[in-house]
C-alpha cells in the first residue's frame, strides 16, 4: 500500500485530501478512514480506485499509521495578506533591480 500524508481534512464536509509520495493529490471521504478521524499532517497508508480520468482517483481505504501532533503546523494556514506599503516596497525593489540589469 502506498504511503502519504493528509494535506487537509474538512470535518464539516466529511472529506479530505492526501498527498502521496509521488506528489499526487487524492480525495478521500470520511467513511473510508479506518483508525479514527484524520487530521492534517497524519501519515497514512491508502488504496486508490483508478478511474479513466486521473482527476477521478479516490482513496477506497485510508489507514492512519502515525498521528500528527496536536499543534501541527502542516495543512492549511491562513496568513495575513501584505499591506499596500509592503506591496509598493516590493514593486519599487523589482523596478530598481530591472534598472540595474539594463
Residue 20 has pLDDT above 90, yes or no: no
Q: Convert the pLDDT of each residue in 58-92 to its tens digit.
A: 888 999 998 887 766 655 545 567 789 999 999 99
CA atoms of 42 and 21, how far apart (whole Å): 13
CA atoms of 10 and 5, how far apart (whole Å): 15
Torsion angle of the four alpha carbons 82, 9, 49, 24, in this order, in degrees rounded to the nearest 10:
30
Q: Is the pTM of this model over 0.75?
A: no
| Cross-strand pairs, 10 | 15
Q: Convert the pLDDT of each residue in 31-67 to its tens digit.
A: 999 877 888 888 999 998 877 776 777 888 999 998 8
Q: With cut-offs at 50, 70 and 90, classify the pLDDT of residue 97.
A: very high
Amino acid at each position: 500500500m502506498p504511503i502519504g500524508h493528509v494535506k487537509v481534512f474538512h470535518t464539516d464536509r466529511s472529506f479530505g485530501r492526501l498527498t502521496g509520495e509521488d506528489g499526487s493529490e487524492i480525495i478521500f471521504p470520511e467513511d473510508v478512514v479506518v483508525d479514527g478521524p484524520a487530521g492534517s499532517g497524519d501519515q497514512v497508508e491508502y488504496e486508490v480506485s483508478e478511474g479513466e480520468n486521473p482527476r477521478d482517483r479516490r482513496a477506497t481505504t485510508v489507514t492512519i499509521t502515525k498521528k500528527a501532533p496536536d499543534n501541527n503546523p502542516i495543512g492549511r494556514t491562513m496568513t495575513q495578506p501584505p499591506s499596500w506599503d509592503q506591496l509598493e516596497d516590493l514593486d519599487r525593489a523589482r523596478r530598481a533591480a530591472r534598472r540595474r540589469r539594463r
